[in-house]
Amino acid sequence: MTSLRTGTVMTRRAAHAAAPHRRARRWTALAFLAPLLVYLLVFYAYPLYRNIELSLHDYTPRAFIQGDPEFTGLENYAKILSDGAFLRALGNTALFTLGSIAAQYAIGLALAVFFQRTFRLSAVLRAMFLVPWLLPLIVSASTWSWMLNSENGIVNAALQAFGVGQINWLTSPDTSLLAVTVANVWLGVPFNLVILHAGLQNIPAELYEAAGLDGAGAWQRFRSITFPLLRPVSLITLLLGLIYTLKVVDIIWIMTRGGPADASTTLAIWSYREAFGTGQPDFSPAAAVGNLLILIAFAAGLAHVRLQKEGS
């Protein structure tokens, strides 16, 4: 508070000083800001603008090169929303995203609580849980698709040992979405573990001691102390998880190409396939699907802000 007050006094004094001096300071401030502003404009504002522009025109390869796309307004969006594949992709996106982040969060939290206690080799073990994060995606996704192979996969071999028949994980329309979700959960656990583990360090140990003295059991301590105090960290973890999962393309593309026959096609896969997955690049509908994803992520962000306000 004191420092704030001196701050205001000083600004007032500065106001009495010569105006050019103040202007120069403003320019200096702007100059310091400039690199960031330029960066934001070039790497965020422009791509976003371009994406919207692509989606409002009909960019055939010909129009893309000649630079004379026809302005079609919201036609691309109308086409996408009325496409039979849209509802399917939306449903798949919801299942994939919500399933992934729910499981990632639950497993990540369980592991974080587990690693709260230090025991022999706990640091080593914790480090090992980070491995999925360190592997290049092409490696982990290919490994998953080998493991889940219908005929020669290790998963089916293990299941057969218990008398379960062959499950066509990646090639049956009933299981391919589940298969890519499981792989994605495995990829996302380390992220949840790290953030939640860090969040746990901020909960004062005295609270647990006091609760212990009052006779609270492990489960009650978790429910009444850990979970509520972890709320802000949990919220941001879930939000980041949501955004990250919404835009997942690589793992699904490598494992199933969104197939068989659209069974694991999410909105992100759909967008990617329209633009780059066929011999005929259709940038406009791809950009329109991409923009829908941005809107969904944006809505989730607003919901997060709302929840945070309620919390505090």
Partner 1 sequence: MKSTSAKATVIATALLALAACASAPTGGGGGTGTTATAAGAYTWWDPYPQHDAGSAWAKRVNSCGQQAGVTIQRTAYDTTALTNQALLAGQEGNAPDVILLDNPAVSTLADAGMLTAMADFGLDTARFDKNLIAAGELDGKTYGIPIGANTLALYYNKKILDQAGVEPDSIKDWASLGAALKKVKAAGKKPITFAGIGTEEGSFQFLPWFWGAGAQLTQLDSPQAVEALELWSSWLKDGLAPNSVISNSQNTTWEEFLTGEFAFAENGTWQINSAAKAGFPTGVVQIPAKDGGAAPTPTGGEFITVPVQKDTKRYDVTKKILECMTTPEGLVETGTTFAYYIPSTADGQQRILAQEPGLKPWVEAVRSAKGRTSDNLGTDYPKISEALWTGVQKALSGAASPADALKQAQAQAKQAIGG
Q: Residues interacting with partner 1, by CB under 8 A?
A: 40, 43-44, 47-48, 50-51, 54, 60-62, 64-67, 79, 145, 149-152, 166, 168, 170-173, 243, 246-247, 256-263, 268, 271, 275-281, 283, 286-287, 289-291, 293-294, 297-298, 300-302, 304-305, 308-309, 312
Smallest gap from Cβ 37 to partner 1, in A, equals 12
CB of 206 to partner 1, least distance (A): 28
CB of 299 to partner 1, least distance (A): 9
Angstrom distance (rounded) from CA 104 to CA 181: 10
**What's the distance, CA 168 to chain centroid?**
28
Which of 112/148 has CB closer to partner 1?
Answer: 148
Minimum gap (Å) between residue 233 Cβ and partner 1: 15
Distance of CA 274 to the CA centre of its chain: 22
Whether residue 107 contacts residue 186, with contact meaning beta carbons closer than 8 Å, is answered with: no
CB nearer partner 1, residue 101 or residue 170: 170
Nearest distance, CB of residue 94 and partner 1, angstroms: 17
| Cis status, amide bond into 132, omega within 30 of 0 | no
Look at residues 196, 184, 95 and name the one whose alpha carbon lies nearest to residue 132. 184
C-beta of 126 vs 273, nearer to partner 1: 273
Region of 18 (left: φ > 0; alpha: ψ -120 to 50; beta: rest) is: beta
Minimum distance of partner 1 from residue 156's CB (angstroms)? 10
Identity of the residue, 218 or 295, whose beta carbon is nearer to partner 1 in the bound complex? 295
Using the minimum distance from each CB to partner 1, give the nearer residue, 116 or 150. Answer: 150
Select 111 or 263, whichever has its Cβ closest to partner 1: 263
The alpha-helical segments, DSSP class H, found in 150-230 are 154-161, 176-201, 205-213, 218-221, 227-229
- Measured from the CB atom, is 54 or 230 closer to partner 1? 54
Q: What is the DSSP letter of 62?
A: H
Cβ distance to partner 1 smaller for residue 48 or 210: 48
DSSP state for residue 226 in the 8-state scheme:
I
Min dist. Cβ of residue 231 to partner 1 (A): 16
Torsion angle, alpha carbons of 28, 31, 32, 37, to 10: 150
Query: How far out from the chain centre does Cα 235 lie?
Result: 13
Pick the closest to residue 50 from 286, 252, 301 (CA basis): 286
Cα distances from 306 to residues 222, 229, 300, 311, in angstroms, run 25, 18, 10, 9
Give dist(CA 277, CA 218) in Å, integer. 51
Beta-carbon-side half-sphere exposure of residue 235 (alpha carbons within 13 Å)? 17
Q: How far is the CB of 259 from partner 1 (least distance, A)?
A: 4
